[in-house]
Amino acid sequence: MEKFGKSYTRFVDSEAIFRKEKKLEIFQQIKAMIGKDVFTLLNQASGNKTQARAQRTMLKAKLNTLTKEITIISQQLAA
């Protein structure tokens, strides 16, 4: 509880602060996963059509996996 002036008192919701910090931490983890995996594949684009097709397939699979992980994390946050 923090006091402001003589009559105004504000309650600090520590649970809400914890949830915000947890969401930020999870967002940073997701950003790190995307940065390492997806953008690495994107940057490896090649002139060879067969290799490019294989890389697109790998990229789609990785994005699907990340989407599932994000869904699971979102459900855990909601609980």
Q: Give me the sign of the Cα torsion angle 2, 23, 40, 43.
A: negative
Domain parsing of the chain, residue ranges:
16-78
Q: Rounded to whole angstroms, how far apart are CA atoms 73 and 69?
A: 6
DSSP 11-53: ---HHHHHHHHHHHHHHHHHHHHIIIIIHHHHHT--S-HHHHH
The whole-number average pLDDT for the span 6-14 is 58
Confidence band (pLDDT; 50, 70, 90) for 15?
confident
Residue range 65-76, pLDDT digits in tens:
888 888 888 788
